Amino acid sequence: MSTPPFPKLPAGFRFGAATSAYQIEGAHDEDGRGPSVWDTFSHTPGRTHAGATGDVAADHYHRHREDVALLRELGVDSYRFSIAWSRLLPEGVGPVNPKGLDFYDRLIDDLLAAGVAPAVTLYHWDLPQALEDRGGWRVRETAEAFAAYAALAAERYGDRVERWITLNEPYCSAFVGYAEGRHAPGAREGRGALAAAHHLLVGHGLAVGALRASGAREIGITLNLDRIHAASDRPEDRAALRRAETLHNEIWTEPLFAGRHPRDETETWAGLADGPWRRPGDLELIGAPLDFVGLNFYRPLTVAAAPHQAADPEQRTAVDIGVTELDPYGTRHTTMGWPVVPSAFTELLRDLHARYPQLPPIWITENGSAEADTVSPDGRVHDPDRIAYLADHLAAVADAVAAGVDVRGYYAWSLLDNFEWARGYDQRFGLVHVDYATLTRTPKDSYHWYRGLITAHRAGTEEPAR
């Protein structure tokens, strides 16, 4: 397979790499860190592939300087990482853990010394277990605790952090965690999941206020919106598309960018849609102006109509909306089983830009592919399919930019192979291979390709010396 050409992106476009705390840090019970819902979930038999946990993961907590050196050599402008809430506040509220604060001080200072701008995600799914024990995201108190945690982080790190992301993929937190049960905390609920979705947005709004009050620079949220197609033009499939849009996209985008709840929420959730968790003024709080929106994208969806799994809406989970997913794409799939359709990325970006005229600038905060990576006898990790994936999706971003969409930068997912949540360690997304037995890091061919892209981009877009 020949190496694809570098996509052409405008001057000022920035490149980064991303990770999250529970997926790479390890040190799950060291230096005062409290347990999170993912510690509990992964230690519950049958919840994760092969019983995998994040107890060690990629051991970033002890090896972060090695990983910062990899970032420096990669040449990225920015590194997106998350703070483990329970490392700063072991109970989610209350006494602060000084050793947790110190770890992120060291990481941030080392990044700055390497010329890499820190971009912090405050919440990447690892809710302190103590807060889940008191209701988790089902209750408003968790949103209020999140704002206090955001204020603590901003007070400590705000002078050095370039970009703040309140939540990562609230869809997964609310629906994969509280409705599907595939992620922590492993619940299968209707009202509970919809309450969680709302309180995640309330927490976001409260955190934005706390970050603004601290003088934080750039503030946004990361969403995993989907480009969704109907399986046919039949009325029932078109109706299924509307319900899927409501569940996957509009429950987030409408309150954030249009100041309203989704127009099809009653059709989607019947009597579950409008619950007592909503309060006057919440939409204004949620819709506070942002400096950017982060977008994570991996694959499109095609949906068709299907019967609800339970006729009584009170017995349904929040994801039982009468929709089934199909795969008509006929393309290569990653090892996650996801079809590779870069054109859907352009479609999603253009549609979002057209639908919300007041949309802030977009950052691609995750994009990448899981592949069957191994270290070859030559000591290299040859991953041509990942290189092709990155090149084609960056070209799709370039197409959207050419069409007028304001995209400012791109973070590859992920810097390192890591704990892939319920999939454990059998899925590898990293630009850097991690041998989980020895924790040896080996940059893959995609790492070298991405470094070449960044170098070529700077050389081709910098203003000539005068």
d(CA 269, CA 317) in angstroms, rounded, equals 9
The answer to whether 107 and 146 are in contact (CB under 8 A) is no
Of 51, 72, 3, 63, nearest in space to 27 by CA: 63
Up-side HSE of residue 432: CA atoms within 13 Å toward CB? 24
Q: Is the peptide bond before 384 cis (omega within 30 degrees of 0)?
A: no
- Give, as one character, the DSSP assignment of residue 11: T
Backbone phi, psi, residue 433, to 5°: -75, 135
Q: Encoding tokens for residue 294?
A: 């982060």
Question: Could you say which of 189, 254, 366, 371 is catalytic?
Answer: 366
d(CA 27, CA 68) in angstroms, rounded, equals 18
d(CA 141, CA 133) in angstroms, rounded, equals 12
3-class SS at 123?
strand
Residue 169: active-site member: yes
The secondary element (H helix, E strand) that includes residue 372 is none
Produce one character per residue of 280-295: b if its CB has 16 or more CB atoms within 10 Å, e if not.
eebbebbbeebebbbb
Of 143, 13, 21, nearest in space to 82 by CA: 21
d(CA 382, CA 384) in angstroms, rounded, equals 6
Q: Strands of 374-428 (E only): list them.
A: 407-413
Residue 366: active-site member: yes
Residues 6+ apart with CB under 8 A from 126: 20, 21, 22, 36, 37, 38, 82, 84, 85, 86
**Does the CA dihedral 45-48-49-53 come out positive or negative?**
negative
Q: Encoding tokens for residue 16?
A: 């980064």
Up-side HSE of residue 235: CA atoms within 13 Å toward CB? 0
Catalytic residue set? 169, 366
